[in-house]
Amino acid sequence: MPNDETRSPTAAEAGAGDAGAGRGMRLGIIALALIAAAATLSVARALFLPVVLAILLALLLNPAMILADRCRLPRWLGALLVVVATVAAVVAAIGQLATPSDQWLNPRSAEWRKLESRLRALERPFAQIQGAQERVQGIADPPGPAKPKEVVVERRSLYALAGDATPVLVGALSTIVLLYFLLASGDLFLRKLIRVLPRLTDKKTAVGIARTIQVEIGRYFFTIASINLGLGVVTAVAMWLLGMPSPVFWGALAALLNFVPYVGPGTSLVLLTAAAFVSFDDWASIAAVPATFFALVLVEGQLIQPVLVGRRLQLNVVVTFLTVLAWGWLWGLGGVFVAVPTLVVLKICADHIEALAPLGEFLSYD
């Protein structure tokens, strides 16, 4: 009878080993594919970011195109009017908010210098303690010859500044042009897909899924944009009542940053607290600003958004936060703003495509 230590593996054991090896190979291929995709997205940021922004804006502006179709406007004319109105609104907003943005977000402004001086006043007792420790250390260790300080003045030419602005302008122009073509083409890609599918049943299924996804995505983005706009208006009114300077700017900043969950409202809260610290002298007025904004964000996030958006489209908190971090690492500030909309599109598609049901369950809130 053969010994157990030298016996050959059975067919079942060999099959299990082959299955484990195959599973490990598949996981390795998936990991390599994810790494390659991340590297491609990072390197080709200038190409992919305008495309993603144009697609998301097209979904957001879909209700406006539906209204243009109801007015019996030609598709190309309706798309042109929607794009021109959107660009005009953005340019007008930038023009109105340029001065307060430079005032409150520029580290070289007078407000930031005032903030630094106030922070130094708060740190003065700690600085005195640190100075006493340094004097005691100086008695024990006599100082050596002082080294001269070098002052480096950085001067940037107009050509260098224009070079920095060129990628932004090219990306913005690419986004606008692609947005127009997406709105003007309408259901072109859906019609192409229907022609490619061989069976009539597949054609009907594809049309139903595509229509549902398009309507739900457009409704979701329009609802979120309306909620954020409402938060911006209420924030501006609240800041005006509290006596904060530039209340319209703070409302617009709160509305814009609220598109980024968790990180955006937190950033607005920090900036508002710093501005209140500069603008007011008494602690009651200073504390009223962040407390009011925190209450507004709490009501918006816990009451208004769940009611209007619905629990079904709410996302897993951990997955959402990690997605924002990942897209921010890949594409910077632009990636932070497209992270959640991209995740919502994936969630809606997963809810309507049976093969992606496990992914939809993983992304869901509960």
Digit-coded pLDDT (tens) for 12-21: 555 555 555 6
Of the pLDDT bands very low, low, confident and very high (cuts 50, 70, 90), residue 310 is: low
> Residue 326: CB partners within 8 Å, gap ≥ 6?
38, 339
Q: In the prediction, which pLDDT does 159 show?
A: 46
Supply the pLDDT for residue 295. Answer: 94
What gap in Å lies between CA 76 and CA 197, rounded to an integer?
28
Q: At what angle are helices 200-241 and 188-196 packed, to 10 degrees?
A: 160
- Give the angle subtended at the CA of 315 by the CAs of 334 and 183, to the nearest 5°: 50
Alpha-carbon distance of 55 to 342, in angstroms, equals 10
Cα–Cα distance measured from residue 338 to residue 331, given in angstroms and rounded to the nearest whole number: 9
86 against 120, higher pLDDT: 86
Give me the phi and psi of 121, to 5 degrees please.
Answer: -65, -35
Residue 56 · residue 338 · CB < 8 Å: yes
Residue 108: pLDDT band with limits 50, 70, 90: confident
Least Cα distance to 221 among 345, 116, 51, 352 occurs for: 345
SS3 track for the chain:
CCCCCCCCCCHHHHHHHHHHHHHHHHHHHHHHHHHHHHHHHHHCHHHHHHHHHHHHHHHHCHHHHHHHHHCCCCHHHHHHHHHHHHHHHHHHHHHHHHHHHHHHHCCCCHHHHHHHHHHHHHHHHHHHHHHHHHHHHHHHCCCCCCCCCCCCCCCCCHHHHHHHHHHHHHHHHHHHHHHHHHHHHCCHHHHHHHHHCCCHHHHHHHHHHHHHHHHHHHHHHHHHHHHHHHHHHHHHHHHHHCCCCCHHHHHHHHHHHCCCCCHHHHHHHHHHHHHHHHHCCCHHHHHHHHHHHHHHHHHHHHHHHHHHHCHHHCECHHHHHHHHHHHHHHHHHHHHHHHHHHHHHHHHHHHHCHHHHHHHHHHECC
User: Which residue ranges make up each domain of the chain?
Assistant: 45-119+169-186, 220-308, 310-366
Axis crossing angle, helix 158-185 with helix 45-60, rounded to the nearest 10: 40
Q: Which residues pair with 364 in a beta bridge?
A: 315
Higher pLDDT, 125 or 180: 180
Give 170-175's long-range contacts (Cβ < 8 A, gap of 24+): 170/46, 171/46, 171/49, 171/50, 172/50, 174/50, 174/54, 175/50, 175/53, 175/54, 175/57
Question: Taking the CB of residue 161, how many other CB atoms lie within 10 A of it?
Answer: 10
* Cα–Cα distance for residue pair 302/312, rounded to 1 Å: 15
What tens digit of pLDDT does each residue of 161-210 get? 445 567 778 888 989 999 898 888 877 766 776 676 677 676 776 777 77
Q: How far apart are CA 289 and CA 337, in angstroms?
A: 26
pTM beyond 0.75, yes or no: no
pLDDT value of residue 85: 92
- Please write the tens of the pLDDT for every residue from 323-347: 888 888 888 878 888 888 888 888 8
Alpha-carbon gap, residue 215 to 222, rounded angstroms: 11
pLDDT (0 to 100) of residue 344: 81
Q: Position of tokens 């918006």? A: 300
